[in-house]
Chain A
Amino acid sequence: MKMGYLRVQRILKNRRIIIGSILVFLIILFTLLTPFIFPEGPHVMEVTERLKAPSKAHFLGTDSVGRDLLCRLLYGSRVSVGVGAAVAVITMVFGLIIGLYAGYYKAVDNIVMRICDSLKSIPSILLAIALLAIMGSGIGNVIISVSIVYTPDVARIARAAVLTAREQTYIEALEALGAGANRILWLNIAPNILSSVIIQVSFIFATAIVTEASLSFLGVGVPVPEPSWGNIVYEGRAVMFQAWWLVVYPSIFIAVTVFGLNLLGDGLRDLFDPQNS
């Protein structure tokens, strides 16, 4: 009975990774294939085809200036997923570096972690808005500001993992053998804490997509006409009651992507870190 239950649970857990990876893979595939599916780009307007409901000619309908919604959503996925991926990579690199040194050196820890605490005391969306208000909108600035907002999260996780890892006897042995701090940090501790960092980063990937969408929706993120999922909803909102598809389909794109990433993150956590799941 107990064994059977455990097995079922394990399959369930694996299923999360499988479904999550398939979703994420499909989205990345579509993102990469977009220029081949719609070689004409996301800016083609057909004024006669304004606000057309989904049909065979326009699979998901058209927007208020007659641009094909599917085309814009697919090009938008390059921006939205791109921003998410860039933020994930940047926060991982900086979070890992900060976390490693803060966990290893007490002096660094005190300063860096207080800065992280302070950054986290400003709610994420508000901090991102404030940064963008000053820096101005644009894809690059969105990536920078969202990365600043989420790097402390990765740093904190990495630091906690380092604190546990450095108590292990093999680290003491390495220290006794005279290994340098950098060697220990990068060759011995980093590989051991990478799994917890990757789990956190997979969630940040998802959160960054949501944050970008919210910022663009508020009009401070990726500026129109460059399509991003957030600003497609932003534009669609004005005509939402005549053209529901302009809000519903982008929502589905965002939800499915974020769902896939969260599922993948959950699955990874179960796999790497069964105690915390």
Chain B
Amino acid sequence: MKKYIFKRILTMIPVFFITSIIIFSIIHLTPGDPARVILGDNAVESEVLALQEKMGLNKPLPLQYVNWLTGIFKGNLGESLFIDQPMTEIIWTHMKPTVSLTIYALLIAAGMGITCGILAARYKGGILDRIVTLISLCGISVPNFIVALLLMLLLAFSVHLFPVAGYKPMSEGIGIHVWYLTLPALSLGFIHMALIMRMTRSSVLEVLNSDYIKMARAKGVSEFAIMTKHALKNALLPIITVIGQTAVTLLAGAVVSEAIFNIPGIGQLVVTSIGRRDYMVIQAVVLVIALINMFMMLILDILYAAIDPRIRLDSR
């Protein structure tokens, strides 16, 4: 197991470097000088030069990259051109609402998705199964900003169940925090609920059709024990995969939900930074999210290996 984890961490190193090069090149290899693009067409030459100096653009590209990278290892993600705060602090304050939203959405998606998926597989062909199939087809067909707007129209405007938009931090009480985040989380989680439902259903179905389940049935094991003890345990691996991937996609998908519901999270930070051409913030956010993503994948892979010995033995 230790050997597997070590090996898995080693494979992360090249991916990290290539990712950092990609993120770096997005900003620095595009046609035109970033400083000029940021300041716009009417910029005075001296301002451009000053900004070039500040961003280190007058040094050769490889050197700029090395400086940026060593900065990252020291915990310095660059400087925002508009917000007078260290980048890590900016990202940290904006990360809190996003993380709350993501966890809430994940709970909705995984909770509903797994329960409905199992029930649909258990009563295959029944009404519930049809509803689940329909929801999962709809879910993957509707972009989450549409779910968000429709929920807003229905549950906030027509029926005043939830606030239309806005955000209350955890410090104002957990109840109000959750209440304000419910619509955003529902809209964000809906699509992934559909995916998890679909995955759970097919993976439980596959296990239920296997010989050892038939054997258990023949022995007279109760239906409940078959579902919980035998089927679910073995169907769990693909489900965990989907949930893991979901967590990361949710984090990025939050960009859209935050923009709609006016939540001061990472998404809003990105959108306002685009408007202000604050490329340094965009670069830092993309890097941080990519890093979180890589670590999630690492944890997932280690989890698989813990659940399924075949994986860690195969990699030898």
Contacts and interface: CB of A to CB of B under 8 A. Distances in A.
Interface of A: 114-115, 117-119, 121-127, 129-135, 206, 210, 213-214, 217-220, 233, 237, 240-241, 244, 247-248, 251, 254-256, 258-259, 262-263
Contact of A126 (B22, B37, B270, B279): B270
B137 A218 contact: no
Contact of B286 (A127, A214, A233, A262): A127
A233 B256 CA distance: 13
A124 to B, nearest CB: 7
A254 B273 CA distance: 28
Interface string B118-149: 00000000000000000001101111111001
Contacts of A240: 149, 152-153
A233 B251 CA distance: 23
B249 A133 contact: no
B223 to A, nearest CB: 21
Contacts of B290: 121-123
Given A121-B290, A130-B282, 14 more contacts: A117-B15, A117-B18, A121-B297, A122-B19, A122-B23, A123-B253, A129-B255, A129-B282, A217-B256, A220-B274, A254-B146, A255-B141, A255-B142, A258-B140
A125 B253 contact: yes
Contact of B274 (A124, A129, A256): A129
Interface in B134-177: 137-138, 140-146, 149-150, 152-153, 157
B28 to A, nearest CB: 9
Contacts of B146: 213, 233, 247, 251, 254-255
Contact of B289 (A114, A122, A132, A263): A122
7 contacts: A122-B22, A122-B289, A126-B289, A134-B279, A218-B271, A254-B143, A256-B141
A125 B252 contact: yes
Contacts of A217: 143, 145, 256
Given A118-B18, A123-B251, A214 B256 contact: yes
Given A114-B18, A122-B293, A218-B255, A210 B143 contact: yes
B239 interface: no
B87 interface: no
Most central of A122, A241, A251, A263 by chain B CB within 10 Å: A122
A268 to B, nearest CB: 15
Given A125-B252, A125-B253, A241-B157, A118 B149 contact: no
A133 B15 contact: no
A218 B270 CA distance: 11
B293 A133 contact: no
A99 to B, nearest CB: 18
